[in-house]
C-alpha cells in the first residue's frame, strides 16, 4: 500500500543563496520542515497550526534530519519537493523529501519525527506516544 | 498615472515565527526583498536572475529599508504583499510594500534602491547610474 | 546625561552573505534584534531570557525598524555594533544601532519598541504600558 | 593520532527559536557550517575568506549533512560546539560537530565535504580533487 505524497514547487530566492550563488544548505532543512507540516495538513485535513490541538499533542518533534546534496539549486531555479512518510513505527516515523530540479534529484532529504506530548512528570520535556491508528490510516493511498 | 502593483500571497511557516508565536521581524525584510525582485521581473518581463545581465547592471542595490509593524502575523496566517515603485528618481527609487492579513494592514514596509553598476575606478564598489527611461515606462499603468 | 552603550563584535559568516558576496539585509535586523536584547540584559543586569518574568511584561515589542546601508559587509569582515537607547518616552523608546567596519559607519540602524504587557481584554493582543522609572534610570551613565 | 578540535561557545538568540521556544533545526546546520569554516581557518592558519584563493579551490563543498537532536536548546542557553575532521579520504572528508549544553550532548551533527575545484570541462560544475598532504598533516595533533 502506497503512502500519500505531498508535492510543492518553489522558486529559489536571491536571499536563499550564498556567495557561491547556490542555496545555503540550512535553507533546505527549512524547506523540508515546512513540507512535513504541509504533508500532515493535507493528509489529515487539519490546518498545520491546528494539528497539535486537534490531536492533543505538542507537535511532530524532529529527532533526526539528514540530506544528501547531489546538485546545487541556484537563484531563479524552480524546484519541486515531493514528501511522504516512508515508515510509521509505534511513536516515531520517517519522512522522505525528494527535491528535484527539472526532474533530476538535487537533494535527497529525510527526517525522523516523533508524535510528541508533554511529559507528565516534567512539563519542560516532551514524551513520544503511540501514533493513533486513524492518523496512520489517513496516509494510506491506493 | 498609476504604478504597476505586484501582489503575492504567502502562508506563514512555523520556522518563520519566534517564541512569541509571531513572525520574527527580519523575515519581513526577506519577504520584501523577494517581492522587489518579483515586482521587477513582472514589470520588465525578464526573469529576476537575468535582470542584471539584461540591463548591464549589478543589481537593484538596497540603500535603505524600513518597516512599521502594526499587527503580528502568526503561524498559518495567509498574508498578502502588494508592492509597487512609489517614486522613480534619476538613479534611485522607492518601493512600497503593504503587507495585509484579511485585508488589514499588518506591516507597512518601504525600501530605497539604486540602479547599480560596478564602479569603473574600483570594481569592488558599486556606482548608481541613471535608470533607463524604458525601464521606468514599463511600470506605468492606466 | 549620556545613555549606556552596549558594544559587541561579530565576524561575518559565509551563510550570512548573498550571491553578491555581501550580507543579506535581513541579517542586519537579526543583529540589531539580538543587540537590543543584550543591551537590556547588560543595562538591567537580568539575563535576556528572564527579562519578561522579572518585569511582568511579555517583552520589548518591536513596532518600527529601519536601516540605512552605507557600506557593504563581506564574508570575514569584523563588524562592531554599538547600541543605545536614544530616547525613552512614556511606554515606548528608540534604540540606535551603529554598525561599523574598521571604524567606518556601514549600517545605521534604529528601532522603536514598546514596553509590552498582555492586553487585559484580549490575551492575544499586547498593550504598551509605562516604562518603570527604575528601568530608565539604569540606562543613565555619567 | 588525534585530530585537531575547534571549540566555540554561543548563546542562543531569541530569533533562533521557534514557537516551541527551542532552536529551529536549520539554525543548527548554520552553526555547523560556520564551525567547519572556522575549524579550517584555525587548523590551516588562513582566514576563512582566503582559504579558497590560498589553495586554488572553490571551497570545501558540502555533499551530506545530518544531525541527531537529543535535547532542545532554548533562548539564552550557552552551547558549546566541538568540531573535528573525523576522517580524511582522497578528496572528501567527514566533519563531526558535537553540540553540548552544560556538558551534555544536545545535537550530534556530521557533514561530508569535498575539496572542490571548478570542473575543467564545465565551469558551472565543481570537481572533487585530492586533498593536499600538507593540508591533512595540519589537522594531526599529539
- Examine the pLDDT at D102 and tell me if it is beyond 80: yes
What values do phi and psi take at C56, rounded to 5?
65, 35
Q: Residue D118 has which C-alpha cell?
A: 571548478
CA dihedral D19, D25, D26, D28 (to 10 degrees): 120
Neighbours of chain C (3+ CB pairs under 8 A): A, B, D
Residue A97 parent element (H or E): strand A92-101
Q: Are the beta carbons of D75 and C30 separated by less than 8 Å?
A: no
Provide, as residue numbers in chain D, all residues whose Cβ is less than 8 Å from the Cβ of B24.
14-15
In tens digits, chain C (142 residues) has pLDDT values of: 689 999 999 999 999 999 999 999 999 999 999 999 999 999 999 999 999 999 999 999 999 999 999 999 999 999 999 999 999 999 999 999 999 999 999 999 999 999 999 888 888 788 999 999 999 999 999 7
- Examine the pLDDT at D142 and tell me if it is beyond 80: no
Distance in angstroms (rounded) separating the CA atoms of residues A107 and A73: 9
Q: Which residue of A has its CA nearest to B46?
A: A76
Shortest Cα–Cα distance, C63 to chain A (Å): 24
Confidence of residue A1 (pLDDT cuts 50, 70, 90): low
Confidence of residue D1 (pLDDT cuts 50, 70, 90): low
Mutate to test the interface with C, among A14, A22, A24 (most CBs of C within 10 A): A24
pLDDT at A120: 87
Of A15, A48, A76, the CB nearest to B33: A15
Provide, as residue numbers in chain A, all residues whose Cβ is less than 8 Å from the Cβ of C19.
14, 17-21, 75
Q: Residue D35 has which C-alpha cell?
A: 564551525
The string of DSSP letters for chain C reads -EE-EEEEEEE--GGGB-TTSBB-THHHHHHHHHHHHHHHHHHHTS-HHHHHHHHTSSEEEEEEEEEEE-S--BTT-EEEEEEEEEEE-SSEEEEEEEEEETTEEEEEEEEEEEEEEE-SS-TTSEEE-PPPHHHHHTTEE-
Of D20, D26, D64, the CB nearest to A29: D26
Q: Residue C101 has which C-alpha cell?
A: 567596519
Interface of chain A toward chain D, CB-CB under 8 angstroms: 20, 24-27, 29-30, 33, 58-59, 62-69
pLDDT at D123: 80
Confidence of residue B1 (pLDDT cuts 50, 70, 90): low
- The separation between CA D65 and the C-alpha centre of its own chain, rounded to angstroms, equals 10
A32-80 pLDDT, tens per residue?
A: 999 999 999 999 999 999 999 999 999 999 999 999 999 999 999 999 9
Provide, as residue numbers in chain A, all residues whose Cβ is less than 8 Å from the Cβ of C14.
18-19, 24
Neighbours of chain B (3+ CB pairs under 8 A): A, C, D
B43-91 pLDDT, tens per residue?
A: 999 999 999 999 999 999 999 999 999 999 999 999 999 999 999 999 9
Distance in angstroms (rounded) separating the CA atoms of residues A139 and A5: 9
Confidence of residue B98 (pLDDT cuts 50, 70, 90): very high
Distance in angstroms (rounded) separating the CA atoms of residues C72 and C82: 17
Mutate to test the interface with C, among D22, D48, D79, D81 (most CBs of C within 10 A): D48
Shortest Cα–Cα distance, C27 to chain B (Å): 7
Distance in angstroms (rounded) separating the CA atoms of residues D85 and D95: 4
Interface of chain A toward chain C, CB-CB under 8 angstroms: 14-15, 17-21, 24, 26, 75
Q: Are the beta carbons of A34 and B48 separated by less than 8 Å?
A: no
A80-111 pLDDT, tens per residue?
A: 999 999 999 999 999 999 999 999 999 999 99
CA within 13 Å, CB half, D47: 10
Mutate to test the interface with C, among B23, B26, B48 (most CBs of C within 10 A): B26
Of B20, B33, B69, the CB nearest to C25: B33
Q: Are the beta carbons of B33 and A50 separated by less than 8 Å?
A: no
- Examine the pLDDT at A124 and tell me if it is beyond 80: no
Provide, as residue numbers in chain D, all residues whose Cβ is less than 8 Å from the Cβ of B21.
19
Do A91 and A60 form a contact (C-beta atoms < 8 A)? no
Q: Are the beta carbons of A47 and B15 separated by less than 8 Å?
A: no
CB A112: neighbour CB atoms within 10 A?
Answer: 18
Q: What angle do CA A88, A89, A90 make, to 5 degrees?
A: 125
Of A37, A50, A75, the CB nearest to B49: A75
CB C82: neighbour CB atoms within 10 A?
Answer: 15
Neighbours of chain A (3+ CB pairs under 8 A): B, C, D
Distance in angstroms (rounded) separating the CA atoms of residues D48 and C76: 7
| Mean local confidence (pLDDT), A129-139 | 97
Q: Are the beta carbons of D67 and A63 separated by less than 8 Å?
A: no
Between B and C, how many CB-CB pairs are < 8 A? 49
On the 0-12 / 13-18 / 19+ scale of CB atoms within 10 A, B127 is middle
Q: Are the beta carbons of D50 and C76 separated by less than 8 Å?
A: yes
Confidence of residue B122 (pLDDT cuts 50, 70, 90): confident
Amino acid at each position: 500500500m502506497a503512502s500519500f505524497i505531498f508535492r510543492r514547487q518553489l522558486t529559489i530566492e536571491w536571499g536563499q543563496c550564498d556567495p557561491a550563488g547556490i542555496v545555503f544548505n540550512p535553507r533546505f532543512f527549512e524547506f523540508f520542515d515546512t513540507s512535513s507540516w504541509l504533508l500532515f495538513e493535507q493528509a489529515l485535513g487539519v490546518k498545520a497550526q491546528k494539528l497539535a490541538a486537534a490531536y492533543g499533542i505538542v507537535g511532530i518533534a524532529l529527532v533526526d534530519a539528514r540530506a544528501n546534496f547531489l546538485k546545487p539549486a541556484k537563484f531563479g531555479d524552480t524546484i519541486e519537493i515531493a514528501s511522504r512518510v516512508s515508515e510509521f513505527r509505534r511513536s516515531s516515523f520517517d519522512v522522505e523529501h525528494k527535491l528535484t530540479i527539472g526532474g533530476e534529484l538535487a537533494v535527497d532529504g529525510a527526517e525522523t519525527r516523533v508524535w510528541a506530548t508533554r511529559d507528565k512528570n516534567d512539563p519542560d520535556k516532551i514524551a513520544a506516544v503511540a501514533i493513533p491508528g486513524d492518523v496512520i490510516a489517513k496516509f494510506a493511498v491506493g
